[in-house]
Chains A and B, each alone.
Chain A
Amino acid sequence: MALTTLKLPELSLVLLMGTSGAGKSTFARRLFRATEIVSSDYCRALVADDENDQSATPDAFALLQYLVGVRLKRGLLTVVDATNVQPEARKVLVQLARDYHVLPTAIILDVPDRVAEDRNQNRPERRHMPRHVVPQQRQQLRRSLKTLKQEGFRHIFHLHGPEEINAVQVIQRDPLYSNRKHETGPFDIIGDVHGCYDELVQLLGKLGYAVEEEPVVDVRDLGVRVTRRAEVAGGRDAISCVSSLNDSLQNKSDQVIQPNNISNDETQNIASLQPYKGAAERRVIFLGDLVDRGPASPQVLRLVMRMVQDGLALCVPGNHDIKLLRHLGGKNVNVQHGFAETLEQLAAESDTFKSQVRQFLDGLVSHYVLDDGRLVVAHAGMREDMQGRGSGAVRAFALFGETTGEIDEFGLPVRYNWASEYRGRAMVVYGHTPVPEAEWLNNTIDIDTGCVFGGQLTALRYPERELVAVPAARVYCEPVRPLNYRALQLLEATQTDLSAQQQHDDLLDIRDVTGKQIIRPRLLPSVTIREENAIAALEVMSRFALNPKWLLYLPPTMSPTETSPLPDLLEHPAEAFDYFRRQGVERVVCEEKHMGSRVVVVLARDEDIARRRFGIVGEGPGKCYTRTGRNFFTDPTLEAAFLTRLQDALLGGNFWEKFQTDWLCLDAELLPWSAKAQELIKNQYAAVAAAADAALPLAEATLTQAATRGLDGVEALLARTSARHTAATHYAEAYRRYCWPVESLGDLRLAPFHLLATEGRTYFDKDHAWHMETLRALSLQDPGLLRATTYHVVNLQDPAAVEAATQWWTDLTEAGGEGMVVKPYDFIPATKKGILQPALKCRGREYLRIIYGPDYLLPGNLERLKERAVKAKRNLALREFALGVEGLERFVAGAPLREVHQCVFGVLALESEAVDPRL
């Protein structure tokens, strides 16, 4: 009976095979999506405007192979509609399938020559096909049938005649065994056990599972059973967490910290905090290497097999397990590396058990992709381009990882650290290579902490990212290569004790920042960085910015209010209030705007903490940097004095204890303007006033002289010139207000207005009144250096409050103040429309003289200046705000530097967009 359903792996390269006229195109169109089909005829037409131009064949096939490659790389099922009767044509395609770890499938449409020839006769473009073509193709097809399996085809469907071909109604796409995306966990992932049964039982206990012996009734009974212990009320939310940083750090109750690098003691702490929320659904994943070297491999197998049987665990195979499988299959295997012990232990076991083991191991899948692609587990890890794919190479990688082919001085293969280049979205948890400590690197973690070598048996809680471990009862096996050999080597080489991630982060990769980048911050669907902007940012970042490890955050640009309709004013508070009212904001905070330099301060309690937390050696305890990531200070002595003063204030205010942190990140204004901009003020702002003062009085005098002659029109010109003179005087007064000489630290003022982050958390969830009050308290510690910012909370529905705030602004700006910043009361207000402008600036009439030039208020000028539009600036402000928040959130969550840097770089790149800088 003819097949009506063909079952294929969901990710396959399908080769249709058949003579010209066999009905391949019709078959493909009937059963596959049009976009899945890559046809040689179509490619020939694309490159030659003629489907039958045989001279175009080489180019057509080059195009076909290119298209197939791109589709496979992107993980798309692809159907090749070509005769595919020649082995050399198939060979190239099979190689492509292998390159992208996709399974090749052949569907043979085998029709009698006459049928094919008749069909060709009915197609005008094929009518003149030479007579020998079809029979020749069919002969090639026949010869091919014998070798297909050998060529690497995993699924072969041979359909005989039009009836069988037409009978196929459905192509069923089966998920790969490795695809378990629908399983979301939570999981407890356990590293290499190597026969350490006691430690395994102990670890399971810590994880919240109970292991019980069971009577053996049937030979097939495994004699052991594992159950989950009941969930305890309150769950893990009541459990405090341990920071990655430092033992002195106390736990915070309202957050989850994702440890970077957990020392043994801390793992113990975590492990004792049992059981966990979600314990009722938790499942174990074993990362393989259940056997060899250790004292009780059969027991371990029993337990794991039982857990898998009961649906309580998943298991991926390790290289040692596969070796055992080969032995059980009758193959001759090397007894080295601890296999001898396993053989000895198995000798006492029944044949039934051995065959159960064989069956179990044979059924193991190389790796799993879980939780909607967020988690990948494999014994030796998995590169991104291999995840969820199937090929011999994928299986080998899962078992052995990546090796360079070299052999080290211990006779062991030199492993290539694939994780150092890992960029994938999925977290990869693996074992295989014993390490002294489990450490995160680029969202991957090796949790084989060498239990059998006397280390510990480690589990990773997913999604909590927390480590749980038990120490080995003893050294069961001496490692050929010392357990901490690599770590020692590294220490020797670098003389640092930075974490693996920090060392890796010493060097960023140009591919992560250049070209068009699409960033997905949590506050916006996506932010696109255009290539030309990345080009500008690369130059600024490379030439002027600090060590990127300091750059946790760059502040967003800020839009002014919409232009005021009032005469003589460009900006007025009414427009700021209107904006937020329109957006449904009830309360705003009006903060005095200081004219200085915007700075971000990143400061640790001491240099040692800067080294541990930021991975920066020898650059002091902190930095104060500008909006473009450039060091604010050029004088290291002044910088050190400034940071020390700030540290003293933090210490005096008990800040470190209060916020349970030993570093912080502040957003602030550093005064005076002239501290950083002195040269600019001299060369540009003062120079303009000087030029005006050198020219205008003489012009006035000359005009006055001419006026006495009674020349027509001179009076008007004189009046205008005098008005310009007055304007120039006001302009000079305006810039002078923001300048005072800076000779020592005593002349600097820091006005912090956002506490952005401390260890493990950001403060975007706190309202601006909180920020203001928190920083006011800090400012009180050192009023000589720190300036608290005046602010008002304004209820937008209360006309009196609005009026009072407006009056405050008017008084402030008439006295020459820069103006104010209006922010929604909540840092990130919840709205239906997405995010709002985080702040709007409302600048005073006098101040704007230094932005728009001395003459901006003169008749004829202001009218034209009012034509400004703030939309582009606002759009920019939103994108930069979203990236700033994202970068900082990533940093506190312990993301690799490149992920933080991508956001910071993005802000810098966006800043190069052409927007009127006067806004």
Chain B
Amino acid sequence: MLLTITTTHQPATDLGYLLHKNPARLQSVDIAYGQAHIFYPEATAERCTAALLLDIDPVALVRNHRGWAGEGFALEQYVNDRPYAASSFMSTALVKAFNTAMNGTCKDRPDLPDTLLPLEATVAALPAANASQLQRLFAPLGYEIETEAHPLDPTVPQWGDSRYFTLRLRHPALRLRDLLSHLYVLISVLDNDKHYYIGQAEADKLLHRGADWLPQHPDREFITRRYLRNLREYVDPTLERLLAGEVDLTITTASPPSPLSQREGELDSSISSSSLTSGLSDLELALKASPPSPWDSALKADAGLGGEAVVEQAEKQSLHDHRLDRVAEEIRRLGAKRVLDLGCGEGKLVRRLLKIPHVEHILGMDVSHRELQRAHERLHILEMPPKQRERLTLVQGSLLYHDPRLSGYDAAAVVEVIEHLDENRLAAFEQVVFARARPGAVLVTTPNADYNQRYETLSAGEFRHQDHRFEWTRAQFAAWAAGVAERHGYRVRVEPLGPEAEEVGAPSQLAVFER
């Protein structure tokens, strides 16, 4: 909520000209959901400090809140850090208050904007994963950095520090507009809860504000991704444009994506049912620690800005593609004509199945209405040619309720679904799929817990995803599969899925049940 900028450039009061704000007055500008006040706690020839203080109106904020659809009624949003944190509101206030300075113009003293000044800045309260994250983001830009941590609750020392820091930056010689651009972009990057809608315009803003320094920043990919909230759709082209003309193309962006496959690059969509529960205003949602979003594990990986985590993430992504390819291949081998995709999520497997000539009909089912909407969008259902459209039905349903719509299919794919069910509900799942729907073949995949030790970011006993209720070893999965097969008259073979490692096997496992 507070940013101060200090210079000891002589005369220091030139800061007033640069910022185009009179040091002798308190000035206020309106911003979304409140006001920004600009004033100078000190203004002498030796030292001049400008302060930008945000006064966010919490009542207006929740009244006009425009969150993700369905998020609008969780109790927690009414008690939030927006009035205190240095957030994306701060970034927008910067532009509003210091627009001329950011654009590097100064009518009265045209030479000033390009003058290198000794500058200090203080930001409070700046959210960050940890102090080293602040170091990594600001140090490459030449700042001397001081961070002050704040306890989460001084009466509960065991809770440790909060995610809020007071950040002090010092630079011996920097143009003011560079400081402002750095703050503008990086405050937004550090803020996990952007208040505005991300679109092409935001991508352009990033290019504009970051043009001078972002391409050289070692963490440019992270900055771009976070600034654009991990929306790959914007990230990939933005990164490309950012790096255009650079020789050193070290970032492993995929080959220029086609309009269709571009949408496939979403991070961690292996969660077949997103936890963003549709429209539920219920206390339960408020009780969920932090609503896991489809980007959840991406954020987790980002937290340390760690190379390992990023590599691991990429590995998981390719594993998921591999898994879907493998299941599609099996459907092809089975020659199935009518196929169920149970827990279809956003439709990645559906897209693969549509390509198989002998598949006449696909019923994609998911318990999450939101995921189905995403599938509708990603598969471009509305524009699908009729012959293709009639091969596909998407429905909301649950694997814990008998559902006559599931009868009469040759094969069912249940990819990374069972681990999202409580173990004692598997009996109902078994009844629904194997006793009642009885498809000719059932393909079930689930993580192999033996492999977990290979993930360095995963501590022992921890699951790969927050919503996993269990992760089975190879022996556990094989035992379950054998039991199901025997009870319902199927043959089953269980095989590793993904590159195998010694002792621990492959990251995932596949059971193929056939009748």
Contact = CB atoms under 8 A, between A and B. Distances in A.
Interface of A: 506-511, 513-514, 532-533, 535-536, 538-544, 546-547, 597-598, 618-619, 626-628, 630, 676-677, 679-680, 682-696, 698-699, 702-703, 705-706, 709, 711-714, 717, 720-721, 724, 728, 732, 736, 739, 850-856, 861, 864-865, 908, 911-918
B424 A912 contact: no
A703 B53 contact: yes
A698 B166 contact: yes
Contact of B428 (A507, A540, A689, A851): A507
B81 interface: yes
Given A538-B396, A690-B164, A913-B281, A680 B288 contact: yes
B26 interface: yes
B402 interface: yes
Contact of B163 (A533, A687, A915): A687
A542 B399 contact: yes
B40 interface: yes
Given A535-B369, A695-B85, A695-B125, A717 B37 contact: yes
A627 B84 contact: no
B79 to A, nearest CB: 5
Contact of A694 (B72, B78, B165, B282): B165
A628 to B, nearest CB: 4
Interface of A is mostly: helix
A918 B84 contact: no
Given A510-B402, A686-B162, A712 B26 contact: yes
B281 A861 contact: no
Contacts of A690: 125, 150-153, 162, 164
A864 B286 contact: no
Given A532-B279, A695-B84, A850-B79, A627 B162 contact: no
Contacts of B127: 691
Nearest to A598: B283
A627 B287 CA distance: 11
Interface of B: 1-2, 4, 24-26, 37, 39-43, 51, 53, 55, 58-59, 72-76, 78-81, 83-86, 122, 124-125, 127, 150-153, 155-156, 159, 162-166, 273, 277-284, 286-290, 367-369, 396-404, 420-422, 424-425, 427-428, 431-432, 436, 467
Contacts of B278: 535-536, 539, 912
Interface of B is mostly: mixed
Nearest to B87: A691
B282 A691 contact: no
Contacts of A627: 282-284
Contacts of B432: 507
Contacts of B424: 547, 618-619
A682 B289 CA distance: 9
Nearest to B160: A682
A689 B153 contact: yes
B80 A695 contact: no
A542 B371 CA distance: 15
Contact of B81 (A541, A628, A688, A852): A688
A728 B150 CA distance: 15
Contact of A684 (B79, B399, B421, B431): B79
Nearest to B84: A691
7 contacts: A539-B367, A680-B286, A698-B122, A698-B166, A703-B53, A717-B37, A915-B281
A502 to B, nearest CB: 13
B53 A680 contact: no
Contacts of A850: 79
Contacts of B2: 695, 698-699, 702
Contacts of B72: 914
Contacts of A513: 401
Given A510-B402, A538-B398, A541-B398, A911 B152 contact: no
Nearest to A710: B24
Given A693-B150, A703-B41, A854-B83, 9 more contacts: A543-B367, A677-B287, A679-B290, A687-B164, A688-B81, A690-B152, A691-B127, A720-B55, A914-B73
B281 A912 contact: yes
Contacts of B165: 694
A677 B421 CA distance: 22
A736 B153 contact: yes
A546 B85 CA distance: 39
Contacts of B399: 542
B125 A717 contact: no
B277 A507 contact: no
B367 A511 contact: no
Contact of B53 (A544, A628, A699, A728): A699
A689 B425 CA distance: 40
B282 A628 contact: yes
A385 to B, nearest CB: 16
A702 B421 CA distance: 53
B299 to A, nearest CB: 13
Contacts of A698: 2, 122, 124, 166
B300 to A, nearest CB: 14
B155 A917 contact: no
B62 to A, nearest CB: 8
B281 A511 contact: no
A539 B368 contact: yes
Nearest to A917: B75
A683 B125 contact: no
Contacts of A535: 278, 369, 396
Contacts of B421: 543
Contacts of A917: 73-75, 78, 281, 283, 286
